[in-house]
Chain A
Amino acid sequence: MANRNEFKTGNWSEAIDVRNFVQLNLTPYEGDASFLCGASERTKKVWDACVEALKEERDNGGVRSIDNILVSTITSHKAGYIDQENETVVGLQTDAVLRRSMKPLGGVKVVEKALAENGLEMESHTRDIFNYRKTHNDGVFDVYTDEIRTYRSLGFLTGLPDNYARGRVIGDYRRMALYGTARLIEAKKADLAAISGPMSEETIRLREEVSEQIKALKEITLMGSYYGCDLSRPAETAQEAVQWVYLAYLAAIKEQDGAAMSFGNTSSFLDIYINRDLEAGLITEEYAQELIDQLVIKLRMVRHLRMSSYNEIFAGDPTWVTESIGGTFNDGRTKVTKTSFRFLQTLYNLGPSPEPNMTVLWSNALPEGFKNFCAQVSIDTSSVQYENDDLMRTTRHSDDYGIACCVSFQEIGKHIQFFGARCNLAKALLLALNGGRCENTGKLVVKGIPALSSDTLDYEEVMTNYRKVLKDMARVYNDSMNIIHYMHDKYYYERAQMALVDTNPHINLAYGVAGLSITADSLSAIKYATVKCKRNEEGLSTGFDIDGDYPCYGNDDDRADSIAVEVTNFMNAELKKLPVYKNAEPTLSVLTITSNVMYGKKTGATPDGREKGVAFAPGANPMHGRDKNGAIASLSSVSKINYTSALDGVSNTFSIVPRSLGHNDEERCENLISMMDGYFSKNAHHLNVNVLNREMLKDAMENPEKYPQLTIRVSGYAVNFVKLSREHQLEVLSRSFFEKM
């Protein structure tokens, strides 16, 4: 057994400080991918069993089986296995693989609906509990005001986490391996003792939370014992380190069904243990790869029980097990290790997959060998997204962070995030043209918005109204967030994850906007062309006549791009003025997930010429077909959105056919690297990279059985293409694929 004392000691030895441990003990790797191994025999056997289970899940309409009796908690389900004798890393959410469980504390009706859609009912004794026990969803709707309900039901605020768990908290799962629960409990007990009177509401709440965290740590220890793992002590080997980290994560996903429950930045941490055991001759490279392959298999099998309507906002049954790979230390050393490569290698060993959501923290200073491998993996699998490490590290002042969900910075163990879904900027613009009334229903949403003086739209007049609308939308949005997060803490607190985060962490509130490109193009049309509003008998806008040319966002033309920048800055500034529950810091994302389709459906015709109901472009993408100057001009436009005004992230999804990247593999890799270096050096934040042929996607729509693992990057995450609804598939096909004649 290797000795813990072989690690370089430092502050981590005395206090809970994983970053310090990583800094002192990491071995950066500057070489290429030639050392990597294929899947071991054991891994192949376990994965084959999963492939079989995944097929059953697909054939059964997307859900393999459901436990309708036990409410899932950290300790509810005893040990479950896929193929026990071949599993190097163990642990399932329930007793069987892909078997979903009930987590009703977000909202019991939601779980009942999901069960009913699958032909099941909640077992009666279990259902009976919720005749006495209130849930998050009940709490929120007890408090919601009429105006929040109006904004919500008409589609100005959508996807709010008021009937599902908010997610977005990343536990520092590394702490389990480095310290074990005994030491962690000791630290939390010391924290609790230090939280003393006077007993304000805030202090009382914090003491209760820390007490809950301590209980969760004890339950995690018990859960570990089901699998024969003594989690009370630190991990001693590479295998234990991987196992301990995974079990900590497993506890979180047994207790919570947050929309996005991300994994953090574990790869370089785990490399320290793997590297040590390799150097000591205790394990081989094949075994090192097996550990990561088998961890990744487990992360691919994470499931939550969802209602089918959830699919509208988050298509393809995603879980956002986001793992952040690479990056740089503040002192300039790379954080790339051999295990960074090993994580990406799983996409070859097991085939492409949307989960875990592989996110490379890109820096111009990344070693060339790693850049090359990333580019190759992107070209071969379209399963990787990239985020600007240089930008985040310097703006957010931390080199120990992960990505929560799709694009959101989170300092691991120090920050958490309150998820805030998004508001519809384009629909809000129509309020400005309709005297504050909803364009579809005529219902008055914002008071005090004057009718326009003419149907020929005047830019300044429209902007004056629009600013008033946005200000009001920010106010109502903020109210809804405060209610939701208060209730989530009260009824569905993330005990297991918060036990692995510092007591009283910094909180970012993640607001979001949808429809940015539609809004920018509409305002540009009003400013640079002549736009006439057509109205129905009720005086509501139904369409627009555009006379003349106008610049569109996405062509590296400042006239249009600056409007997108300005709207983002304005909305962010309005939100920042409003105080948030638990003193959270307001941040904003330009991200839609797949809700751009649903947002479009709810939005009438817009002054850019878009017709009623047509899908928006995703995230911060320019509208499909309007970026006429090619990919680089489009990327340049997106890079202009200020990260400091959108600290929760600016998502961009890029699709290109292989030929357009270059003649051969070598050129394609080289050009993709040039492109990403260029994009991120212009302070752009995020990029999904798809290298795909449109024909392949069309074929996959018709013959899904041929493409069970076809993965594409959507807005900030990846999905199995064949799991998308036809409507979402068609929307993906309509997007700008950069092709060349």
Chain B
Amino acid sequence: MLRVHSYESMGTHDGPGLRLVVFVQGCRFNCLYCANPDTISTTGGKNTSIEEIVAMAKSQKAFFGKKGGVTISGGEPTLQAAELIKLFKALKAEGINTCLDTNGNNMNEEVRELLEYTDIVLLDVKHMNPEQHKYITGRSNDNTFKFADYLKEKNIKTWLRYVLVPGLSDQEEALIALGEHFKDFNNIERLEILPYHTLGKHKYEVLNKPYKLENVPSNTEEQLERAQNMLKPYFKYVQVN
């Protein structure tokens, strides 16, 4: 059984092509800007059988075209790696492309096995500076770097993702450090800049949690362009998502 928060059957921003995105419940990060705070708690969500999700994916397979497939996002999927191994095995058996959207914080035997059935990883790097990373997420970024090294070693196709928050993660030195660190990772096909948005703000009110970035504005077009230009030299492709 997988604890599922919700589905987006027409995912066009979470991996290549048209994808069924399954948002799972539970995450150990506590990002200041989290747009899905209702997925953080490890309780809640709907216990859903692997068969049910596979049936949904099979029913929608015709829409995936040449590039699309299933993306597991969240929440943090690797917290439920044992169940996801079953799911990804079954999807591979159906010829369906698999994509894992992760913060890279958890690495263990199960996650290593899960990656054997993963076609593409969306690896979210929150910040290059350890203190700033801890400030944003509540945890260190050591594990994420180790995770990235493992993906490189196994040559697993990866899209790097970086949430650009004005004042919080868009410092010039942070962006340059990001580029410098990953420039030689041949498995990284693209960098996606995720613009900070406030669309998740109303969820905090529902959850009765304070919204910590009250006064942070969305990125301007200029800020996005600047970040994109700064990062372009380091990656094969940079996309503002």
Contact = CB atoms under 8 A, between A and B. Distances in A.
Interface of A: 556, 628-636, 656, 660-663, 667, 670-671, 673-675, 677-679, 681-682, 738, 740-741
A628 B178 CA distance: 37
A155 B16 CA distance: 48
B12 to A, nearest CB: 5
A305 B65 CA distance: 47
A430 B78 CA distance: 49
B64 A674 contact: yes
Contacts of A679: 62-63
Contacts of A677: 62-63, 65
B8 A682 contact: no
A663 B8 contact: no
Interface in B1-42: 6-13, 17-18, 20, 35
Contacts of A636: 9, 59-60, 63
B10 A631 contact: yes
A682 B61 CA distance: 10
Nearest to A635: B63
B37 to A, nearest CB: 13
B89 interface: no
Contacts of B9: 556, 629-634, 636
Given A632-B60, A674-B63, A674-B68, A741 B199 contact: yes
B229 interface: no
B7 A667 contact: no
Interface in B112-132: none
B236 to A, nearest CB: 16
15 contacts: A629-B9, A632-B18, A633-B9, A633-B60, A636-B9, A636-B60, A660-B12, A662-B12, A674-B68, A677-B65, A678-B65, A682-B62, A738-B10, A741-B197, A741-B200
A681 B11 CA distance: 20
Nearest to A675: B63
A636 B63 CA distance: 9
A-B interface, 4 closest residue pairs, ranked by CB to CB distance from nearest? A678-B63, A674-B65, A632-B9, A630-B9
B12 A661 contact: yes
A77 B1 CA distance: 74
Contacts of A628: 6-7
B12 A632 contact: no
Contacts of A682: 62
Nearest to B21: A630
A635 B62 CA distance: 11
Contact of A671 (B7, B18, B239): B18
Interface in B53-92: 56, 59-60, 62-68
Given A629-B9, A675-B10, 17 more contacts: A556-B60, A633-B56, A633-B60, A635-B63, A636-B59, A662-B12, A663-B12, A671-B17, A673-B65, A674-B65, A674-B68, A678-B64, A679-B62, A681-B62, A682-B62, A740-B12, A741-B199
Contact of A630 (B8, B17, B64, B65): B8
A629 B59 CA distance: 13
Contacts of A662: 12
B241 interface: yes
Contacts of B241: 663
The size bracket of the interface on B is 20 to 34
Contacts of B239: 663
Contacts of A670: 17, 65, 67
B12 A556 contact: no
A720 to B, nearest CB: 28
Contacts, number: 86
Nearest to A667: B12
A556 B65 CA distance: 18
A250 B59 CA distance: 46
B2 to A, nearest CB: 15
B59 A741 contact: no
Contacts of B56: 556, 633
A355 B9 CA distance: 33
Nearest to A640: B59
Contact of B7 (A630, A635, A674): A630
A723 B60 CA distance: 37
A671 B60 contact: no
Interface centre among B8, B13, B241 (most CB of A within 10 A): B8
Contacts of A678: 18, 60, 62-65
Contacts of A556: 9, 56, 59-60
A130 to B, nearest CB: 55
Contacts of A631: 9-10
A631 B20 CA distance: 10
Contacts of A661: 12
B13 A663 contact: yes
B63 A632 contact: yes
A630 to B, nearest CB: 4
A656 B8 CA distance: 14
Nearest to A681: B62
B235 to A, nearest CB: 16
B161 to A, nearest CB: 14
Nearest to A739: B199
Contact of A660 (B10, B60, B68, B200): B10
Contacts of B10: 630-632, 656, 660, 675, 738, 740
Nearest to B197: A741
A674 B18 contact: yes
Contacts of B68: 674
Nearest to B200: A741
B48 to A, nearest CB: 12
Contacts of B62: 677-679, 681-682
B56 to A, nearest CB: 6
A679 B10 CA distance: 12
Nearest to B199: A741
Contacts of A738: 10
B7 A675 contact: no
A371 B13 CA distance: 22
Nearest to A672: B18
